[in-house]
Amino acid sequence: MRAVAAAHEFLARDPETGLYPCLQYIIEGSGVRVYHAGDTLRYEGMLPKLRAFGPMDAALLPINGRDGARYRRNCIGNMTFQEAADLAGELRPRLVIPGHWDMFADNPGDPAAFADYLDAKYPGQVPCLVPKRLAPVFVKAPEL
């Protein structure tokens, strides 16, 4: 498991440690590489950091977004579904899975809108799986 800094509303270092308190993870095992973005926005330099790990077999991306109403409630944001789709289109994982869409009633995302936008902008380029709630997802290693 390796980590990349995440921008959970802001890309900020802890003033005492100099470390980034919010992280994204790249998990590798059994020939599979999975990128779990967690809570993050896109930021300058993030895509090259992710590409440096090599091709991703799966990417789990937050799609619940951010807006003024949520920010005023102290609900800090993540990528919008459009930003997540663009990251998937640029990163080109073998599979993308939208996340953060059914966690909190007052901070939703729309996985159907994500899948539709991804298909419209990157037709046939990045397969998308919207899993059923609490259903396991298995990612197999690519066949060589």
Tokens found for residue 79: 């990528």
Q: Tell me the whole-structure pTM to 2 decimals.
A: 0.93
Choosing among 3.30.43.10, 3.40.640.10, 3.60.15.10, 3.40.47.10, the CATH entry for 2-121 is: 3.60.15.10
Say if CB 80 and CB 65 are below 8 A apart.
yes
Tokens found for residue 143: 């066949």
Helices within the chain (DSSP H only): 46-51, 68-72, 81-91, 111-121
Q: What is the pLDDT along the chain (144 residues), one digit of tens a residue?
A: 999 999 988 899 999 999 999 999 999 999 999 999 999 999 999 999 999 999 999 999 999 988 888 889 888 889 999 999 999 999 999 999 999 887 777 778 899 999 999 999 999 999 999 998 888 999 998 887
